[in-house]
Amino acid sequence: MKTCARCGKENPDDAIFCANCGGAFTPEEAGEEAAPPPYGQPPAAYPAQYPPPGAPYAQGPYPVVVQVNNSKATASLVLGIVGLFVCPIVCSVLAIILGSTAKKEIAESGGYQTGESNARAGIILGWIGLAVVIVTMIIWAIVAIVAATNVSMLPVLASTASLL
């Protein structure tokens, strides 16, 4: 019988580790000649490091926080895209408003919410949609002014239209 040097418990002669404390028996304690460990095996002096029985495992350093995408940022992006093609005035204005609100909420969330890039893209697309509307209105106004100043050309246009 071997006696553990750490806890004093008696173990069988062929034991490599103490049954009570898990301490490794060195070949010198067993009265044997030290043989090299087999290939790929760790030496007996380095046993696996497990917590003692009954001890809790260590927890991670930080709790996991799940990030949530801000829905106003996503709505801003969608309205910005729709504002370019379907209803530019209403959708573009709503995209700018929702995008600005979403950016404020994301900044105040302390990392809990994501989607700042969606909000920024919605704001940019909203401004582009408004710019397209303004440029289109200016072009239509110029066309209307030119058409109104060329009233003297109406009889000529009417006669050429009847020839076709």
| Beta-bridge partners for 24 | 17
pLDDT confidence of residue 49? 66
pLDDT confidence of residue 124? 97
Q: pLDDT below 70 — which residues of the chain?
A: 27-52, 57-63, 151-164
pTM here? 0.54
pLDDT confidence of residue 151? 64
- Length of the chain counted residue by residue: 164
Provide the residue type at 8 as one letter: G
Q: Do residues 28 and 2 make contact, with C-beta atoms less than 8 angstroms apart?
A: no
Residue 96: count of CB within 10 angstroms of its CB: 22
Residue 23 has phi, psi (to 5 degrees) of -70, 145
pLDDT confidence of residue 24? 79
pLDDT confidence of residue 29? 52
pLDDT confidence of residue 27? 59
Q: Do residues 27 and 15 make contact, with C-beta atoms less than 8 angstroms apart?
A: no
Integer Cα distance of 50 and 68 in angstroms:
37
